[in-house]
Structure 1
Amino acid sequence: MVLDPLLRQVLAAMLGIISGGGLAYVLFYGRLSGEHAGAKRIEKIAAINGRRGVDARAGGDPTQRRKQIEDTLKESEERRNRSSKNVPLHIKLEQAGLSWTKRGYFIGSGVAALVSAIATFIVAQNPLIALAVGFVFGLGIPNWLVNFLKNRRLSKFIDEFPNAIDVIVRGVKAGLPLVDCIRICAQEAQEPVKSEFRKMIETQTLGIPLAEAVEGLAARVPIPETNFFSIVVTVQQRSGGNLSEILGNLSKVLRDRKKMKAKINAMSQEAKASAAIIASLPFLVLIMVYLSAPDYIQLLWTTSQGKLLMFGSVLWMLAGILVMRKMINFDF
């Protein structure tokens, strides 16, 4: 099938824009989103709050107890820092709730890159554009998909996790051991809390201490909520304390964080809608003008000056979208 030259140029321009945006997303998203700095700040605040909360309830020798708690928190923080650096691919796939293997992931990425590059070359007849599209589909799209599924699974975990903490609190108040309370959550809770608590019970059954099993939960589910839970259980296992009261306070904190997140999302919806409209306007105007006056708009991709202007506009528009995304996304 022979495509019209003008239509082929339009498709090539659109594929080039998509490829450039995807490549920029893969290369610069981690720096612009502020996730790394936010994660470090959350870990520091969690350590400070955990230290203050335990110190306020400390009994016996305050100096010795405070030093013991500080050592426990320091060990936990160092262990989390080591586990958070250079996360292996199989851990990322597990965090996303996928049963893929590393080999299957790489094979799928290679197939996606090859198919997209061949399709782009057939349409655009340009090997450079085809190579760029294949690069984006081979590296950017699979990575984006894994991160998307991971964030969606973590969001479900955050919604269900306070309910599991409440079950543990009621069980501890009724006189059940902490392990039995966690086992009840592993049987009755909703996914993905159910599967994560089951892994924690299986790890503890093999002879690993409960504190380390809970730290494994924080490593598999890297969110502040599991970090708080790990700190509470670790400090209680090593230093003692009223576990039901501490977990009750933790449940209240988790629900307050959930309410705050919902409030932030509600307040930022207007800004997100405005950003989406502003980002889509240039493409809508391009399509409408092309349908009404194609000779007028095709100068953008038939002349060197037009191509330069369109390339600069795409880069400028991409920078504006990233800035708006940075301003809209709130972390706490």
Structure 2
Amino acid sequence: MKAPLLLGLLCSLLLVLGVVLLQKGWRQTGEERVLQRLGQDLAASAPPPVKPGWLERAFIRAGLDLPHGRMGLMVSLWLAALLLAGLAGGWMAALVVALLLPLGLRAWLVWRYRRRVRRLVEQLPQMLDQVVRSLHAGRTLGDAVVRAIDASPDPLHAALSRVSRDVQLGVGLPDALQEVADLFEQEELRILALGVRVNHRYGGSASELLGNLIKVIHEREQIARQLRAMTGETRFTAVVLALLPVSVAGYILSVNPGYLMGLWQDASGQQMLLAAFSMQALGCFILWRMLRSV
């Protein structure tokens, strides 16, 4: 009885995916016809601004390119894993696979994003110091920022390369910096974009502004290190509390697998395991929010 239901679910998901891809193809075909009527030169010289979706945004923040050509293959593999898990372990195993794979991808992207942003903030004062030296040499603020970005190492160069590109295409420097600050959602980048916008509108010494920003970044970094040192015990306690139930379950499964398999094969036992998994996920989320608030 479970196999027909799972096959029906898989067919429904594939049908929905096919309809979405068909609509996307029709939309792209219509856009191509419009661009052909307007002329290729006009379309190439003034492309319409398209904001990235949440998935593409997550990949960009992590320093990766969204594999558009492999999305269908990735979804098909996910559905195949979902079907195999359902056939082998029932609806509970299918539910676990359906949740763990997307959550694992999101966690990996968030981990890459945070590591990249931390390295980016560490490199930002050196880039701003180079901008200040270029301003003292007589260059304009836009030219100094573009030169400093081009001379910066990765990941700062890769993250701010869109600023250099937008400025060379004629976009205002405050708008280009604000776009990057909104993309990465980092306070240092927002302060830089705000300071450049205020300087661009009301004037003032840009070198003094950037010098004060360098001091602010160093002070924020020092305060963050002190906070990590003061909350190290709390974070370690949270990690232990999060890993302890999983470790105990793994130990019981390795020593006495019949105990957990008996629960897995019973309907009420599956409900108990599902409730335990839900409470474990909720507890990890609460601990994570508590650590974020410290």
Return the match for 1:100 from 55, 58, 66.
66
Supply the distance in 2 between the matched residues of 1:325 and 1:272 (Cα, whole angstroms): 9
Could you tell me how far 1:100 is from its partner in structure 2? Answer: 2.3
Residue deviations 1:85-106 (CA, integer Å, cap 9, x gap): 99554333322211224453x3
1:216 aligns with 2:216: no
Show the 5 A alignment for 1:1-332.
87-104=53-70, 106-121=71-86, 123-124=88-89, 126=90, 128-136=91-99, 139-293=102-256, 300-301=263-264, 303=266, 306-330=269-293
Structure 1 residues 316, 88: closer, same or farther in 2, change over 3 A? Answer: closer
**With CA pairs under 8 Å and 6+ residues apart, which has the higher RCO, 1 or 2?**
1
Secondary structure at 2:195 match in 1: helix
**How far apart are the structure 2 equivalents of 1:288 and 1:252?**
51
Q: Deviations over 1:113-161 (max 9, x none)?
A: 124224423532x2x2354245325643433433333333222212211
Which whole-Å deviations, capped at 9, do the CAs of 1:167-195 have from their partners, x for residues lacking one?
21232234332223213322321212113
Q: Cα gap change, 1:144/1:291 in structure 2, threshold over 3 Å: closer, same or farther?
A: closer
Partner Cα separation in structure 1 for residue 234 and residue 59 of structure 2: 32
- Partner in structure 1 of residue 28 of structure 2: none
Per-residue CA distance 1:266-287 (angstroms, 9 max, x = gap): 3333222222222222333334
Classify 1:200/1:301 alpha carbon distance in 2 versus 1 (closer, same or farther; 3 Å). closer
* CA contact 2:242–2:284 (8 Å) conserved in 1: yes
Change (3 A) 1:218 1:167: same
TM-fit CA distance, 1:238? 1.2
Unmatched segments (≥5 aa) in structure 1: 1-82
The amino acid of 1:264's aligned partner reads L
**Kindly tell me: are residues 211 and 326 of structure 1, through their superposed partners in 2, closer, same or farther at Cα, counting changes over 3 Å?**
closer
User: Structure 1 299/116 Cα, relative in aligned 2: closer, same or farther at 3 Å?
Assistant: closer
Stretch of structure 1 that moved more, 136-145 or 229-238: 136-145
Post-superposition offset of 1:291: 4.8
Distance 1:236 1:87, change over 3 A: farther
Asked if 2 retains the 8 angstrom alpha-carbon contact of 1:113 and 1:136, the reply is: no
Counterpart Cα distance in 1 of 2:227 and 2:84: 42
| Alpha-carbon spacing, 1:202–1:294, altered in 2? closer, same or farther (3 Å) | closer
1:208 CA displacement = 2.0
- Which residue is equivalent to 2:20? none
What is the distance in 2 between the residues matched to 1:100 and 1:294? 41
The CA deviation string for residues 309-330 of structure 1, in whole angstroms up to 9 with x for no partner, is 4443333333322222221224
Change (3 A) 1:258 1:87: farther
Shift of 1:253: 0.8
Separation (CA, whole Å) in 1 of partners of 2:97 and 2:278: 20
Q: Aligned residues, how many?
A: 245
Name the CA distance, whole Å, in 2 between partners of 1:118 and 1:275.
35
Return the alpha-carbon distance in structure 2 between the equivalents of residues 130 and 308 of structure 1. Answer: 12
Other structure's SS at 2:231 match: helix
SS of equivalent residue, structure 1 residue 175: coil
The alignment yields a C-alpha RMSD, in angstroms, of 3.0
Distance 1:130 1:300 in 2: 13
